[in-house]
């Protein structure tokens, strides 16, 4: 995400960017790693990484921090339904 803000708004812009990045974990890390894997690591190394990544994501989805974040920020009653 690129954003240009006045110097006096820098701290708030950084806080918001960090909140967006860390709010629910790094969703695309597996896809990014897969895209880079071909030239950098063996298939077995990638499988080991993904096994660990998937386990940790499972733990993250049930973590008190994520649940608290969703309770603070998820406004289900204002979301559009398709």
Say if CB 3 and CB 17 are below 8 A apart. Answer: yes
Say if CB 2 and CB 47 are below 8 A apart. Answer: no
Q: How many domains does the structure of the chain reveal?
A: 1
- For residue 56, give its domain range: 43-73
Say if CB 70 and CB 76 are below 8 A apart. Answer: no
Q: What is the pLDDT along the chain (82 residues), one digit of tens a residue?
A: 577 889 899 889 888 877 776 665 555 666 666 666 666 778 888 888 888 888 888 888 888 888 888 888 877 667 666 5
Q: Decide if 61 is inside a domain.
A: yes
The pLDDT assigned to 8 comes to: 93
Q: Decide if 29 is inside a domain.
A: no
15: tokens are: 């806080």
Say if CB 21 and CB 11 are below 8 A apart. Answer: no
Q: How far apart are CA 74 and CA 81, in angstroms?
A: 14
Residue with tokens 């499972």: 58
């Amino acid at each position: 995400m690129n954003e240009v803000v006045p110097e006096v708004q820098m701290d708030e812009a950084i806080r918001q960017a960090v909140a967006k990045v860390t709010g629910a974990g790094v969703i695309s890390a597996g896809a990014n790693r897969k895209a880079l894997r071909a030239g950098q690591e063996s298939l077995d190394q990638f499988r080991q990484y993904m096994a660990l990544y998937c386990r940790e994501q499972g733990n993250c989805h049930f973590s008190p921090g994520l649940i608290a974040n969703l309770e603070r920020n998820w406004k289900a009653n204002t979301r559009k339904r398709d």
